[in-house]
Amino acid sequence: MRRRADSTGPPRAADFAGLERDRVEKPDGYAAAGIPVHLLVDREACSVTVFTEPEKGTYSSATTRPFGAVVELPEPTGFALDTEKLKEYAD
């Protein structure tokens, strides 16, 4: 997701179709497209989930951590994401 340089607050998805879509349909669609890493920020659960290893239309690996944890994003992303700031935006 892109964020304009002058924007404030956390980046937000333009699509608010519902939790089921964000938690199930989108990851499956991204896996089917071969997207190697998908990050789900779940404000309701106060957690982030990293989906990896797409195989046959689904991710074979998913790791969930609470807001505040440092989350390792594997290659090709390849960096550590500090999620402490996300606590401020939890529902």
Would you give the DSSP letter of residue 88? G
Cβ 67 vs Cβ 57: under 8 Å: no
Residue 53: what pLDDT? 96
- Please enumerate in sequence order all residues whose Cβ is within 8 A of that of 39, keeping only pairs 6 or more positions apart, or say none: 48, 49, 50, 51, 71, 73, 81
**Model confidence, pTM:** 0.76
pLDDT digits (tens, 9 = 90+) for 26-51: 899 999 999 999 999 998 899 999 99
Cβ 57 vs Cβ 31: under 8 Å: yes
Residue 17: what pLDDT? 52
What is the mean pLDDT, run by run of 10 residues, along the chain of 91 residues? 41 52 87 94 92 94 96 93 92 69
Residue 69: what pLDDT? 97
Question: Would you state the structure tokens that stand for residue 70, as one six-digit string?
Answer: 């440092």
